[in-house]
Structure 1
Amino acid sequence: MDVRAPVLIRIAAACALLMGALLPAHAAEIKALRIWAGPEYTRAVFDVSGPLEYRIFDLDGPDRLVLDIESSSFAADFEAAEAAGLLKTVRSGKQGKSDLRVVFDLDEGVRPKSFLLPPAEKFGYRLVLDLYPKTRVEPVKTVEAVLPPGTSRNVIVTIDAGHGGEDPGSIGATGSREKVITLAVARELKRVIDKEPGMTAMLTRDGDYFIPHKQRYQKARDAKADLFISVHADAFTKSSARGSSVWVLSPRGATSEAARWLADSENRADLVGGVSLDSRDDTLAAVLLDLSQGATMEASSAVAHQVHASMSRVGPTHKNHVERANFVVLRSPDVPSILVETAFISNPAEERRLNDPAERSKLAEAILDGVRNYFRSTPPPGTWFALEENRAKASRHVVSSGESLSVIAARHGTSVAALRSVNKLTRDQVRVGDVLEIPQG
């Protein structure tokens, strides 16, 4: 046996690698261009056949963004989406002998961000361009005004339609896309919440575009929301799986997010209302965060149980209890957050149900019912629910020792006859501990 063989093999392999480096890279094919326009940025995604080299630069007079892709060409069946958002038109042509140039005509100057994504799940290589307006004005955070006596504010519910844009989510048995279903449910949920006294809803997205997970719950924090609801439609390998489910953050997820927040000086300051915590205050920061997270997780669990109970009355639930998982969208340290899996989109019967507006309305009403019950039992201070609770307490009287019906009537500025009528009393005698309704007006 020739003992030099392994050495020769290594030398040959090295030569092959060297020759490969000297040869031009294999030409990449551009298969498709997809464009999504959101309120904050426009995303353009090129589906490409493999890794590629590219460069981006901008021009003004008029505003344009130029993308040069080395050793590339359009595939024979190339599909291009229509321009949208910040893009007016998209043009392309050859640059030199082998490169491809794509020109984006813009409504205004942009700040581009780009990255190449490797294959993942059903996607191949993707070149992603996110275009942000240069002139974008950041929202100014204001201190919440103190409410005048006798007035109240609405509770704010942030509704997050899962997936969106290039992320379709799960695909149903007949081709329904989760991102479409979740947006339809979210819009219906917003509609019924906005009709409810004392409640206002806002959507994290109101169109077909993608929002990173952390930005979704940050939108709730920026809005000073009282509750965050992320809407999804589950999928499973077995088409027989069915039923809705409600999820809250697992303790492991809370712990990992706590570490991230404590490592971020901006987040630390935010936790204590703008008071900066320096490195000597790690213990104080940890205690404050632990208190905040503990209260938030307790509230999340309480509202989740109410929503789960309500949804179980309008259809099957996948399990008979609230579930826990480390979902990124549930990691807000100070906004109670739940994730609702409305049904299994992979189940043909439930897919049909999710596509039926009447069924989506039932789902929305069930979620609203649970949310309403939670805020009635735990009204945030200063809200309409808290004011109504105080009014209800004011309209009731618990009989104490030595009180008679006439004494109670005089105390509340009403008559004995009115007290008898509203409480359906047949006599004037009352007992200690009785709860009487006080006539209004």
Structure 2
Amino acid sequence: MPDTLDYRKKYLIAYFSVCSNASVKNTFLASLTLIFFCCWMLLSQSAVAADAIVQSVRVGLAPDYTRITLESDRPLEYELSMLDNPHRVVIDLNNTKLNPVLHTLPQKVDAIDPFVQNIRIGQFTPHVIRLVFDLKAHVVPRTFVVPPKENFAYRLILDIYHPHKAAKTDLNTRTQPAAKAKFETDILDELVASLIQDNSKQESNLIRVVPPSPPKIQPQPVRQAEQPGSFQAAQYRKPNSTPQKSMIPRIIVVAIDPGHGGKDPGAIGKQGTYEKDVTLAIARKLKEKIDKEPSMRAVLTRDGDHYISLPQRRIIARRANADLFVSIHADANPKSHAHGSSVFTLSEHGATSTTASWLADKENSVDGDLMGGIDITSKSKDIKELLLDLSLNAAINDSVKLAEYVLKQLGGINHLHKRNVEQAGFAVLKSPDIPSILVETAFLSNPKEEVKLRSGDYQNKMADAMFLGIKKYFSDNPALARAAVAQTK
């Protein structure tokens, strides 16, 4: 701060000038000058120390946007601008200290981020730090400041949307008062109906995209309801104003998660086989088989040797509107004789922690407030807990069914480490509305099974077993419509 230092020098010179010329009678004036100078020093030091300090930085991926969070000891003064050719978002931070924490921000950008290519940070002027976000496409930025709450300090949040998603968000914001007029029981009824599967009455993999027609006026014989009464009541409360549309094939989406990757090799066999390589090879073969089915398609959480965090793997599945999540691994054990295949689902303890974390106040949430395609933002805490419990219990039940089908198929090509589906609190399985399983294909720590896992033929058999298990699951449990299913126009 050069200007402040110059003023200090001037006042210091003035003070010594007064002292040198002062007589005993002027000692009061000299003392007063000294007091004034000391006060000025304190105030100027306070002004120098007023720069905000960024304490934490985060980058999170949500289904519709990327969120960048800067957490600081005081509110950040900032200016937002956009540049083209190429597309960039620029944030200038005024009176903020450029520290090592800010320099870690570029490292937090993920390769799978659909919007942000890179982040550059530098001292633009003596009092301004410039953050430049290099973009992959045209975007719409949204910024807001959140005051301190619980364990969080001040937060400057930048959300980067695709233009279409931003327009949808704006529309939702404008229509929010009308949305709140809906009965909470209507939302609950819809979710209950979406979670109940009457397998004996599902005849095909087709769905209707319009609500049921109202009952005819002429008397009808009494028959058993095909859905719970509360759900039918909710449907009849809605006006049937939209024209009927034709039935469309239900496309089933399977998210395939090759375990580990990048800096995380996973288990390593005695022959130097990396788990991350085996899981990716099997995942690619499984995807190829699924994509050949006309009513199915697969999405890989990674299709190369790079690191993806566990929460981001779930985000990728949610962004793809996945009906299932299958995580592929290769086991390891200190005892080299351990062998066989296993299938895991989320444990009861894991489900409890999932409920707690979902309902917690997560400022940097990546899953948003949609559950089973329903917006629960405006719901009360009790309703949210009930909705989440219903959704999570249904997802776990379906996970166990899927795991049993897959485990049975695996038993045809390999010894089973455990003959029953196992449960554990694996973080990657904690999606509250997507049935999820984790397959341990074999033990890399077992020399014989390592040889198998290195074999392309065995990898193909593993992929076949999982594929047949998935097909059998959907054959016996036809997929219900998800909120994001495309409608005919």
Question: Shift of residue 381 of structure 1?
Answer: 2.9
- Alpha-carbon contact 1:344-1:350 (below 8 Å) kept: yes
Residues 347 and 378 of structure 1, relative CA distance in 2, 3 Å threshold: same
Aligned to 1:316, the other structure's residue is in SS state coil
Give the match for residue 398 of structure 1.
none
Question: Shift of residue 248 of structure 1?
Answer: 0.2
Provide the TM-score with structure 2 as the length reference.
0.50
- Equivalent runs, 1:144-163 vs 2, <5 Å: 146=209, 148-163=245-260
Residues 268 and 201 of structure 1, relative CA distance in 2, 3 Å threshold: closer
- Alpha-carbon contact 1:111-1:134 (below 8 Å) kept: no
Give the match for residue 370 of structure 2.
270
- Alpha-carbon contact 1:310-1:369 (below 8 Å) kept: yes
Percent identity (aligned): 44
For 2:456 and 2:272, how far apart are their aligned partners in 1? 17
Give the match for residue 385 of structure 2.
286
Which of 107, 113, 119 pairs up with 1:110? 119
Matching of residue 172 in structure 1 with residue 272 in structure 2: no
Matching of residue 331 in structure 1 with residue 430 in structure 2: yes
For 1:234 and 1:173, how far apart are their aligned partners in 2? 13
For 1:108 and 1:302, how far apart are their aligned partners in 2? 40
For 1:377 and 1:145, how far apart are their aligned partners in 2? 19
For 1:207 and 1:163, how far apart are their aligned partners in 2? 11
- Alpha-carbon contact 1:152-1:382 (below 8 Å) kept: no
For 1:163 and 1:318, how far apart are their aligned partners in 2? 21
Query: What whole-Å deviation, never above 9, does each CA across 1:114-156 have from its counterpart, x for those lacking one?
Result: xxxxxxxxxxxxxxxxx98545654566899948423212200
Amino acid at match of 1:270: L
Give the match for residue 237 of structure 1.
334
Query: What whole-Å deviation, never above 9, does each CA across 1:357-379 have from its counterpart, x for those lacking one?
Result: 11111110101111111000000
For 1:262 and 1:342, how far apart are their aligned partners in 2? 34
For 1:177 and 1:163, how far apart are their aligned partners in 2? 10
Give the match for residue 212 of structure 1.
309
For 2:117 and 2:439, how far apart are their aligned partners in 1? 39
Question: Shift of residue 320 of structure 1?
Answer: 0.6
- Equivalent runs, 1:292-371 vs 2, <5 Å: 292-371=391-470
Runs of 5+ unmatched residues, structure 2: 1-64, 67-85, 89-98, 101-110, 122-131, 140-160, 170-206, 211-244, 483-489
Matching of residue 375 in structure 1 with residue 478 in structure 2: no
Aligned to 1:176, the other structure's residue is in SS state coil
- Alpha-carbon contact 1:164-1:179 (below 8 Å) kept: yes
Amino acid at match of 2:437: I
Question: Shift of residue 199 of structure 1?
Answer: 1.4
For 2:118 and 2:340, how far apart are their aligned partners in 1? 48
Aligned-residue CA RMSD (Å): 3.5
For 1:233 and 1:312, how far apart are their aligned partners in 2? 16
Residues 132 and 338 of structure 1, relative CA distance in 2, 3 Å threshold: farther
Amino acid at match of 1:203: L
Residues 312 and 273 of structure 1, relative CA distance in 2, 3 Å threshold: same
- Alpha-carbon contact 2:208-2:246 (below 8 Å) kept: no
Question: Shift of residue 273 of structure 1?
Answer: 1.9
Which of 348, 355, 371 pairs up with 1:251? 348
Give the match for residue 92 of structure 2.
none
- Alpha-carbon contact 2:253-2:323 (below 8 Å) kept: yes
Amino acid at match of 2:471: R
- Alpha-carbon contact 1:268-1:277 (below 8 Å) kept: no
For 1:109 and 1:329, how far apart are their aligned partners in 2? 27
Provide the TM-score with structure 1 as the length reference.
0.55
Aligned residues: 268
Aligned to 1:252, the other structure's residue is in SS state helix
Query: What whole-Å deviation, never above 9, does each CA across 1:379-428 have from its counterpart, x for those lacking one?
Result: 01359xxxxxxxxxxxxxxxxxxxxxxxxxxxxxxxxxxxxxxxxxxxxx
Which of 285, 294, 300 pairs up with 1:188? 285
**Structure with the bigger percentage of helix:** 2
Deviates more, 1:326-335 or 1:350-359: 350-359
Aligned to 1:324, the other structure's residue is in SS state strand
Query: What whole-Å deviation, never above 9, does each CA across 1:163-199 have from its counterpart, x for those lacking one?
Result: 0000000001100000111100100110111112421
Query: What whole-Å deviation, never above 9, does each CA across 1:265-306 have from its counterpart, x for those lacking one?
Result: 76573137224236xx11111000000001000000000001
Runs of 5+ unmatched residues, structure 1: 1-39, 42-61, 70-84, 87-106, 113-130, 384-441
Matching of residue 199 in structure 1 with residue 300 in structure 2: no
For 2:135 and 2:120, how far apart are their aligned partners in 1? 6
Residues 366 and 135 of structure 1, relative CA distance in 2, 3 Å threshold: closer
